[in-house]
Amino acid sequence: MGGLWALEPATEAKHRLYKRYLDAWWPIMLQRAHVSRVTYVDAFAGPGEYVDGQEGSPIFALDRLLSHVARPRMNLTRQRVTLIFIEENQKRRDHLEALLEKRFGALDELPVTVRVEKGRAERDTLPLLDETNAWGSPILAVFDSWGNVGVPWVDLRKIASNPSSENIVTFGPNWFSRRENQEPEKLDLIFGGPQYWQPSNDDLTSTDRWREWLETYRGALKRAGHEYALTFQVMPRTGQPLYLVYGTGHPSGVKAFKDAMWKVDVSDGMRFNDPRTTAGKQAAMADLQPSLFDAPDDVPDPELLGFVDDLMDKPGTSVQDVCDFLIRETSRWRETDARPAIRHLLEEGRIARNPAKGHLTSTTRLRRVT
Ligand SMILES: C[S@@+](CC[C@H](N)C(=O)[O-])C[C@H]1O[C@@H](n2cnc3c(N)ncnc32)[C@H](O)[C@@H]1O
């Protein structure tokens, strides 16, 4: 089809992350016998491929399900599993449908239900979830527009308040800053009302302005009902970055998402940053690490050490407090990262523990050595 476009490096990087996450998400949801139905909705589906033949998100989402090693244990039926692909553009929708049939066979004969819908994400996502009886069971909703957030906060709220349901929203750089002057009513829709956002401060650098917008968006996702919300800056080696926000109600979702990020191949220099913290924290904590030449391989990352060090500001911080903070407030670090960082700071004599001896348990108290 004419009208396909080239796969941007940031999109390619984001696809690596989605694939890894889907490899975890499908079996987590479908291997639970009590889950009667699971719905995946890609609300800005696209035509299914890029100009050089790389797969678009609907194709790999279905492929990761049908060719999953755990497929025999996932009890796939048309009634139990539904994938909804929404695309506004008729030609792209037709292209996607034809491509899905070419790749996987007639859609009405697949072991799961696949619906390719011409529609608008912001208008049709909730009615389609109504129509397919998705509510009451897990939903993963991906809102992957073209640098345009485009998802009403009330839609995110409805999905977030559904059991075991998650939202992923992506956007391009400068989206919020552009809208604040040109279309403030769009921001009202996206944040849930004018009281939930404020124009950015002109004195801030563009990076800091971005951090503030992302933090506001992360707040909106939490207000929508997600207990956990992670923000990522997807940084390809070349080209524009892309921002991604993931909301879930479950620590197991957080773990699966962070694990996916750690497993993604980044050998080409691509990175996932926590835009709220990475730059500042790494710079501030550089002195906590020996120089590159002296550094043994197992020295924890300065950002991680920086977080643990910050937590020492609060008297009585326990090992469990460190674990909880890493899970909840950082996009990168997991519970398993807490103890190596704590041990490193103990060995360096920067922090002390109570009790002073024995295993490091979740209730062991920590304090900074001044
Ligand atoms: C960034 S592309 C999607 C890429 C795709 N998710 C992937 O990762 O391969 C955005 C797509 O959304 C479509 N689109 C734009 N506005 C839309 C809307 N309001 N509702 C649904 N689709 C829309 C565009 O035609 C385009 O194909």
pLDDT digits (tens, 9 = 90+) for 101-124: 999 999 999 999 999 999 999 999
> Does 261 reside within a domain?
yes
Residue 78 placed within a domain: yes
Q: Could you tell me if the CB of 146 is within 6 A of ligand 1?
A: yes
End position of a domain, from candidates 239, 273, 307: 273
Pocket test for ligand 1, best of 54, 146, 149, 155 (most atoms within 8 A of CB): 146
Same domain, 191 and 285: no
Closest C-alpha to ligand 1, atom 26: 46
**264 and 318 inside one domain:** no
Residues 235 and 292 in one domain: no
> Strands, E, within the chain: which ranges?
38-42, 81-87, 113-118, 139-144, 166-171, 228-235, 242-248, 271-273, 351-354, 365-368
Same domain, 252 and 345: no
- Structurally, the chain folds into a number of domains equal to 2
Is 2 part of any domain?
no
What is the predicted pLDDT for the residue at 203?
A: 82
Q: Output the CA 140–ligand 1 centroid distance in Å.
A: 17
Does one domain contain both 56 and 132? yes
Express as a percent the part of the chain with pLDDT over 70.
93
Packing angle of the helix pair 184-191, 175-182 (nearest 10 deg): 120
153-183 per-position pLDDT tens digit: 999 999 999 999 999 999 887 788 777 877 8
Q: Which residues contact 55 (CB under 8 A, 6 or more apart)?
A: 15, 48, 49, 63
Residue 26 alpha carbon to ligand 1 centre in Å: 23
For residues 214 and 99, membership in a common domain is answered with: yes
Q: Residue 149: which CATH number?
A: 3.40.50.150
Assess whether 134 and 258 both reside in one domain.
yes
Distance between Cα 360 and ligand 1 center (Å): 49
From ligand 1's centre to the CA of 131, what distance in Å? 21
Q: What is the pLDDT of residue 2?
A: 66
Amino acid letter, residue 277: T
Does a structural domain hold residue 159? yes
Q: Is the CB of 148 under 6 A from ligand 1?
A: no
Question: Of 233, 255, 273, which residue sits at a domain end?
Answer: 273
3-state SS assignment for residue 244: strand
Q: What are the residues facing 273 on neighbouring strands?
A: 233
Task: Determine contact, residues 125/150, Cβ cutoff 8 Å.
Answer: no
Whether 294 and 364 map to the same domain: the answer is yes
Q: What is the mean pLDDT of the segment spanning 320-338?
A: 94
Report if residue 3 sits inside a domain. no
- Give the position, in ligand 1's atom list, of the atom nearest the Cα of 18: 8
pLDDT (tens digit per residue) in 271-281: 888 877 655 55
Residues 303 and 183 in one domain: no
Q: Same domain for 118 and 246?
A: yes
Domain ends where: 238, 273, 308? 273
Find the domain containing 134 and state its range. 9-273
Are the C-beta atoms of residues 40 and 61 closer than 8 Å to each other? yes
| 93 assigned to some structural domain | yes
- Provide φ and ψ at 21, rounded to 5°: -65, -40
Are residues 135 and 77 located together in one domain of the fold?
yes
Q: Whose CA is nearest to atom 24 of ligand 1?
A: 46
C-alpha of residue 146 to centroid of ligand 1, in Å: 6
* Cα distances (angstroms) measured from residue 140 to each of 114, 150, 190: 14, 17, 19
Residue nearest to atom 27 of ligand 1 (CA): 46
Interatomic CA distance for residues 31 and 109, integer angstroms:
22
Retrieve residue 313's tokens.
């500001």
Tokens, residue 128: 């389609």
The alpha carbon torsion through 301, 215, 202, 236 (nearest 10 deg) reads 50
Quick check: is 231 in a domain?
yes
Residue 305 lies in a domain: yes
Name the pTM for this structure.
Answer: 0.92
Same-domain check for residues 293 and 153: no
CB 149 within 8 A of CB 188: no
Query: Which residue of 1, 64, 85, 88 sits with most ligand 1 atoms within 8 Å of its CB, as the best mutation to test the pocket?
Result: 88
Phi, psi torsion values for 351, nearest 5 degrees: -130, 160
